[in-house]
Amino acid sequence: DFVESEFFVIDGDSLLLMFLDEKTQYLNFFYQIECFLQDFTEKGAKYVIAFFKDAEQMYFQYPCFLFLRTALIEHLRHNTSITVHTEFSNCLSSQWELFLKKSYPYFIIVSDIGLSSLQTDYLSILIAHSLSKKINVVLTSGQEYDILRVYGYHVQSVYKHRLFFAKVSYTTSLSYKEPFMCLYGHFKLSLKSVQEEVHQSVHLLKKLWPEGSDIRRVLCVLACAVGLKVYSNVTNCLNISKPLYPEEAADLCRMQCLAVTFLLRVPLSQRAQIRIMKSCWTKQVLPLIKMVYVALSYFPCHRVQLLIQFSFSFILKSDLVEDYAGDVLKDLPVLKSNDPAVTSLTKYKEFDELRHWHSGRPLTEEYERVACTADAKSKDPAERRQIQKLQAFHQFFGSTLEDSTSKLIVLQEDASGSANAAVKKTQKKHVTKEEKKEEEQWKALCAQTEKEIKADMTVGINKLEKLLKKLKSKSVKFSVEMTGLSVCLEVWKEHCRTQGNEDKDLGKAVQVMRRIHILLEKYQDMLEKPHLEKLTKCLRYLGFENLACSLSGKKISNYAIKVGPARFQLQYMDYYLLREERHDPDPRVQRFIPDTWQRELLDAVDNNESAVIVAPTSSGKTYASYYCMEKVLKASNEGVVVYVAPTKALVNQVVGTIYSRFTKKLPDGLVLCGVFTRDYRHDIVNSQILVTVPQCLEILMLSPRCQKWAKRIQYVIFDEVHCLGGEIGAEVWEHLLVTIRCPFLALSATVSNPEHLTAWLQSVKRYWQRAENRIERSSTNSEKNFTRKYKGKSKVQEQKQSYRVRLVLYEERYNDLEKYVCSLKSRDFLIEHCHPCAALTVNHIENYGIPSDLSLSPRESIQLYDTMVKVWQAWPRAQELDPEAFVSFKNKVVIKKADVRKYEQELKKELSKWIALGQRQKVTVIGHFLMVLMYIICFYRFNVDTVESAAKNVFLYLLKKQSLIQGSDVEKERNRLSAELQKVNKMVGKFNPEKIFYRLRFERRGYLHRRLALRGIGYHHASMASKERQVVEMLFRMGYIKVVTATSSLALGINMPCKSVVFAEDSVFLDALNYRQMSGRAGRRGYDMIGNVFFYDIPMPKVERLMKSNVPELKGQFPLTISLILRLMLLAAKADDKQDAKAKALSVLKHSLMSFRKERYAQILKIYFMFSLQFLIKEGYLDQEGKPMGFAGLVTHLHYHEPSNFVLVSFLEKGLFHKLCQPIKGSTVFSEGVLEKLVLILANLFGRKYLPACSVKYKRTFCQSKVFLEDLPEDFAEAVNEYNTKAEENFAHFLLTTAKLADMEQEYRLPLSKTDFTSKSWHGSELVSYLTDTTKSVSAVSPFACVSGMIDDDLFLGKNINKAVLRSLGINVTNCPLLYLKKYDNQGRRQPLNAYALDFYKHGSLIALTTDNWYVLPFLIQ
């Protein structure tokens, strides 16, 4: 993903090497480079290209490549908007180091191989140097791309790289030799002499050039003139046998001029049709060609061409096909039913999924293939006990998430009005009794609390606030607050008397003002005249005369703090300022008073509406999902809510919360909550709340026999819906959002284009409105009977149906986040406050504006104002925006966060105005001024090993420190602590840590976790066992663990609130999205008043980019695969309710996010659908009526392994496994050789992981693993090649058909520079007619690829597709299901497959896999 934060550098010479090919015509070479760069640009990438001066020497032996390098630099610099740097001599120069320090690129794209060994060494030095400067490296080798992303191998910069580079000394500049070029034998021509000739010729030819001459004509004439002159001088000096005569050499130059003139006149559309000619030049001619650097473009040789014919064996009996692609189908040629191509199709048995494909066992549903832990329907006593244990754990786990007891859900029909009245009466009596009890409690604690506040204000106030949280009576809370105010004022007065004229600790005054704020805001209705007089007196004591007058009036005090009231509240009260909260309770919510936007969510649920909710982390957006569950649970026993979470960890958390919140008495066989993940399941179809991951819900939604269950779904909740734009499984989220018929809630904190997402989802809901009306009209009697049978369903039908999709946006974080940068200077550890506006540059404000989520704390707003006044002393609005004069602050006793936000927005607007007024320099200076030195934590790292070692290092450090500071009175201290522990144990009660540690008794690292946890330390990453992760999460929430080191495993919604987050290392994974999610753990609502984010060992430019950059937009991926189309056809054919199945299939096909509001893409998808059906029919997975047959079940079961699922079936059909798996004679046992071969075959099909090509030359002895996977056996390889040929042929026909949808105006322009090659005023020519090949078909190939000899036939080879395909179609080879036997990178080097599966089968060692197969560095720099 690319957003503004990921600025990177492309090494220009590595870019050149990616596309250098002697066979490629120059125009096509530039086209390929522009396609590569445009692909980055379209994805929102921010990059620069750097060509090092010293690298030019590497091309002196390759004159035509040197010419291309120079031309590429000039082209990119003058014809595109890309920044091209050519000022750096090499990577060791001081200018380059300064550039890296200032800009700190996200990574550098570099090639690991050059044209020569010298260039390869040069590039290796660049890689080593980049890694030593904390810059990650991405290799050009093996790069791939799809619609959303670019994929490449990267090397993470680590500390060992810096050590390595420090040991090796490189010379700071390469030794220069005079450049030369070899001509005849050992004769070397000095390029300096050629350069002098060029200068002289330019001087002479200038007089002949007409004004405004075309540079291409000038270059041609100049090259020929200099070439002839130098050649003449050389032949005169040397005794050369059979040289070219001067007239012959001149004829060659005339041919060159003719070719250039020809190319200048003939449009690209005509050049694409010209015959490709080829011949060999004699040795006498080659020196002359070298001298002019440019080879002629076309040579005599006629290319033999295949005749392309294609037709379709489609039938028109499938309603689904007709409804979706009928408009496309009518334009396609269709074979007759008696055609040999149709009659020869293999007839398989019709597929019906009754038994497991690999055994004879009966099969009911696909989801039953997942292991079942326990099920409520079970009668087995052992399983029943297992269920009870599991539920008990979930309740315990949930109790660490929420303090409250679970709520008993009663069906609405069972709860009568008189019963509700009785309950309310009982509650009222209980409240009165509780209030008296609290009053007595406060009387007992009052004196003690006063004493504690006077002794230590911070500790005393914390205890006071804990007490306030426990109290429920408003009158008792008011008494506590008044007492707190009196004591705080006394402490402030005493402090002023003690300090005299010296500086005072304003933190004590803050507590006084804070109490005044709370009393005026929350207890306004309880304040009487004596109370108001007391508040006035307090304000006067603080010196806020104007505020006191607004209450009532007298004289200034000796205890004044000598700061204006508005400034004091912003600068010193800061995060204590009250938030804009409502005070009117909502009867739907008992535990808190919801905000306005939260009520809007509850309204949406009450009205059965769908909603997209985008709100910051910790803002309380998930509450609506639990309200939704409660509503469905109350309505009936049949309604279902599905909660979709992206990870198993989040699934466990939600299940715990459900058990903590709800209990409900249900009929036998039904349970409250069920779980479905890839690893385990229980109570899927007999639960009212199903918590699952997207892939598993998709199995249920597309299963033909789960339709009855699917109709019971009342709501689906999608948590972390931004995963729709994720790298893995994004298309599954898309399928679910379009196939569900019921309302949904989609929650996320990081969606940058929510309006577009909501508009797409609204279009889907409109489709379902039409579809359901159609289904209702054509409903059969059997469906009506089914409705009567399921009473819960009938209730759903009675409810008001709503197809509206609301967008609920809330951008305000409840608690501000303050950022700090940590660094080591000599032996001092410095923490610098990083003001968000310091990250803003003039260019960023002009190009992107000030990010909406770049919020300032009140203190930071004051800092910004003070800096603006300091930088521009004549600032016209300085007085107006002074805090004491600002309209929202003036004479206001209680300034709220909402008032501060208005002030902040005014300051930000003013910054943008400064740029418009021409004060750009002043805005830049503000950034420098704002870097000011200043004074439960979660540490984020991105490597599993460093996460664990960091936790261990903290533990060892604490042990060492303890041994150093232990005094002689150890026994006395032990006794004191044991007495305190006894008190703690009483408080712990049910939260006994031993109960939690018991879960680790069988875990491999259980003892380590226990030792660390006893010191308040833990670590958390995805490779840990689930029980280990759960233990760390619970202990952290309960406050036993204070410090956790973690990877991004905590980023997705895990409830582990902490005060501070530390990013302890840089990584390629630390991007804008991960930064937002991970920093969101700090300063959680209800736990802290402010959150702190610390950056350690991360360069300042990266920190600034993270703070100011936006998150990536959600865009659609290519939505269709052949396996998905087969699954949809299977659903439509085998479903009990055909209308419902057809509607679901059409929703997936018609409503992809990629084709939303893009009609051309919608047409492309229809044609892709038709050719996928063609493939499935030919291969025997569908019959002529679109019904599944043969191995359709096996293929759909392995749909996430496409294309390996199709290849596996081809192996089975050919009987290859039967031939291989021959047991040892006289037994049923297979030999070790057979088993090893079987694993080798499966490892070539499933779990394929490619290694970079350079890893083959990796100079390291592997311990036990082979690492590089061997090739498939010959007969299996032949079967794969046969499959690939069929897939390539089918995909080529698809490309030939879709070519008509291409934007040809765009195809005749270079993609990045937009240089136009369309014909302007071409009237034809006899020469062109003579050279044109009328049999040459180039209808579906890019015209730029045509000039290098590409024709339509080349689309039948997968390796040519990306080079030849029409770019405006948005299709590449990743959409073709090919299984590569041998994969090659840009330089033609083979990329081996990782043999981890086979190696593990052989040695069974995880350690060997870690050290050999998963070794961090793909190559070693020597």
Region 1183-1196: mean pLDDT is: 86
Residues with Cβ within 8 Å of residue 1402, at least 6 apart in sequence: 1236, 1264
Decide if 760 contacts 730 (C-beta within 8 A): no
- The radius of gyration of the chain's CA atoms, rounded to the nearest angstrom, is 37
What is the sign of the dihedral through the CA atoms of 656, 657, 660 and 663? negative
User: What's the confidence (pLDDT) of residue 367?
Assistant: 55
- Cα–Cα distance measured from residue 714 to residue 712, given in angstroms and rounded to the nearest whole number: 6
Decide if 1057 contacts 1081 (C-beta within 8 A): yes
Label each residue of 1095-1123 as H, E or C: EECCCHHHHHHHHHCCCCCCCCCCCCCHH
* Highest mean pLDDT (candidates 99-108, 319-328, 959-968): 99-108
Of all helices (H) and strands (E), which one includes residue 1238?
A: helix 1232-1245
Q: Confidence band (pLDDT; 50, 70, 90) for 1270?
A: very high
User: 285-311: per-residue pLDDT in tens?
Assistant: 555 555 554 322 222 222 223 333 344
- Cα–Cα distance measured from residue 154 to residue 108, given in angstroms and rounded to the nearest whole number: 9
- Res 1112 pLDDT > 90: no
What DSSP string describes 294-316?
---S--S-PPP-PPP---B---S
Decide if 1170 contacts 1290 (C-beta within 8 A): no
* Highest mean pLDDT (candidates 159-168, 578-587, 1340-1349): 1340-1349
CA 688 from chain center: how many Å? 32
Q: For 565-569, 696-700, 1022-1026, 1177-1181, which range has the lowest pLDDT when averaged over its residues?
A: 1022-1026
Backbone angles phi, psi at 779, to 5 degrees: -70, 145
User: 344-395: per-residue pLDDT in tens?
Assistant: 555 666 666 666 545 556 655 555 555 565 566 666 777 777 777 777 787 7
- Cα–Cα distance measured from residue 723 to residue 17, given in angstroms and rounded to the nearest whole number: 36
Region 160-172: mean pLDDT is: 69
- Cα–Cα distance measured from residue 651 to residue 576, given in angstroms and rounded to the nearest whole number: 35
Alpha carbon distances (Å) from 392 to 215, 346, 879, 899, 997: 82, 56, 64, 47, 16
* Highest mean pLDDT (candidates 498-502, 710-714, 964-968, 972-976): 710-714
Label each residue of 836-880 as H, E or C: HHHHCCHHHHHHHCCCCCCCCCHHHHHHHHHHHHHHCCCCCCCCC
Q: Which of 770, 725, 769, 765 is nearest to 748 (CA)?
A: 725
CA 851 from chain center: how many Å? 19
User: What's the confidence (pLDDT) of residue 1171?
Assistant: 87
Residue corresponding to tokens 């007239």: 247
> Could you check whether the bond before residue 1203 is cis, i.e. omega within 30 degrees of 0?
yes
User: What's the confidence (pLDDT) of residue 365?
Assistant: 57
CA 292 from chain center: how many Å? 50
Residue 37 token pair: 């760069």
- Cα–Cα distance measured from residue 295 to residue 1242, given in angstroms and rounded to the nearest whole number: 49
User: What's the confidence (pLDDT) of residue 318?
Assistant: 76
- Cα–Cα distance measured from residue 1124 to residue 1199, given in angstroms and rounded to the nearest whole number: 7
Of all helices (H) and strands (E), which one includes residue 154?
A: strand 154-155
User: What's the confidence (pLDDT) of residue 1203?
Assistant: 93
**Burial class, 731, CB count within 10 angstroms (exposed 0-12 / middle 13-18 / buried 19+):** buried
The CB density around residue 502, as the number of other CB atoms within 10 Å, is 6
How does the average pLDDT of the chain come out, rounded? 81
Instruction: Indicate the pairing of strand 640-644 with strand 687-692.
Output: parallel
- Res 797 pLDDT > 50: no
- Cα–Cα distance measured from residue 1395 to residue 1393, given in angstroms and rounded to the nearest whole number: 6
What DSSP string describes 1372-1411?
-GGGS----SSEE-TTS-EEPBB-HHHHHHHH--HHHIII
Which DSSP category does 1252 fall into? Answer: P
Which DSSP category does 48 fall into? Answer: E
pLDDT > 70: percent of the chain: 82
Label each residue of 534-596 as H, E or C: HHHHHHHHCCCHHHHHHHCCCCCCCCCCCCCHHHHHHHHHHHHCCCCCCCCCCCCCCCCCCCH
- Cα–Cα distance measured from residue 776 to residue 758, given in angstroms and rounded to the nearest whole number: 26
- Res 334 pLDDT > 70: no
- Cα–Cα distance measured from residue 311 to residue 341, given in angstroms and rounded to the nearest whole number: 10
* Highest mean pLDDT (candidates 393-397, 526-530, 1216-1220): 1216-1220
Backbone angles phi, psi at 908, to 5 degrees: -65, -40
**Burial class, 1323, CB count within 10 angstroms (exposed 0-12 / middle 13-18 / buried 19+):** exposed
Decide if 894 contacts 573 (C-beta within 8 A): no
Torsion region of 1383: left, alpha or beta (phi above 0 gives left; psi -120 to 50 gives alpha): beta
Angle, alpha carbons 323-324-328 (nearest 5°): 105
- Cα–Cα distance measured from residue 508 to residue 492, given in angstroms and rounded to the nearest whole number: 6
- Cα–Cα distance measured from residue 460 to residue 510, given in angstroms and rounded to the nearest whole number: 14
User: 708-740: per-residue pLDDT in tens?
Assistant: 899 999 999 999 888 887 767 788 999 999 999
User: What's the confidence (pLDDT) of residue 991?
Assistant: 56
User: 489-507: per-residue pLDDT in tens?
Assistant: 999 888 888 888 888 888 8
User: What's the confidence (pLDDT) of residue 781?
Assistant: 46
Decide if 84 contacts 48 (C-beta within 8 A): yes
Alpha helices (H) in 1001-1153, listed in sequence order: 1006-1014, 1026-1037, 1072-1079, 1100-1108, 1122-1134, 1138-1150
Region 251-269: mean pLDDT is: 80
User: What's the confidence (pLDDT) of residue 98?
Assistant: 92
User: What's the confidence (pLDDT) of residue 337?
Assistant: 55
Angle, alpha carbons 782-786-788 (nearest 5°): 115
- Dihedral of the alpha carbons of 131, 132, 135, 139, in degrees to the nearest 10: -20
- Cα–Cα distance measured from residue 1200 to residue 776, given in angstroms and rounded to the nearest whole number: 34
Q: Which of 879, 898, 878, 876 is nearest to 888 (CA)?
A: 898
Backbone angles phi, psi at 245, to 5 degrees: -70, 155
- For 1062, the 3-state DSSP assignment is strand
Q: Which of 1044, 1286, 1355, 1169 is nearest to 324 (CA)?
A: 1169
Backbone angles phi, psi at 312, to 5 degrees: -125, 145
Alpha carbon distances (Å) from 412 to 416, 417, 661, 730, 1135: 8, 10, 18, 39, 34
Q: Which of 599, 722, 837 is nearest to 1080 (CA)?
A: 722
- Cα–Cα distance measured from residue 727 to residue 151, given in angstroms and rounded to the nearest whole number: 10
- Res 1214 pLDDT > 70: yes
Q: How many residues does the chain have?
A: 1422
- Dihedral of the alpha carbons of 810, 811, 816, 822, in degrees to the nearest 10: 140
Label each residue of 476-488 as H, E or C: HHHHHHHHHHHHH
User: 557-603: per-residue pLDDT in tens?
Assistant: 556 777 888 888 898 888 888 888 877 888 888 777 888 888 898 99
pTM summary value:
0.84
Decide if 167 contacts 1174 (C-beta within 8 A): no
Q: For 236-245, 335-344, 619-628, which range has the lowest pLDDT when averaged over its residues?
A: 335-344
Residue corresponding to tokens 């690991």: 112
Decide if 862 contacts 568 (C-beta within 8 A): no
Q: Confidence band (pLDDT; 50, 70, 90) for 691?
A: very high
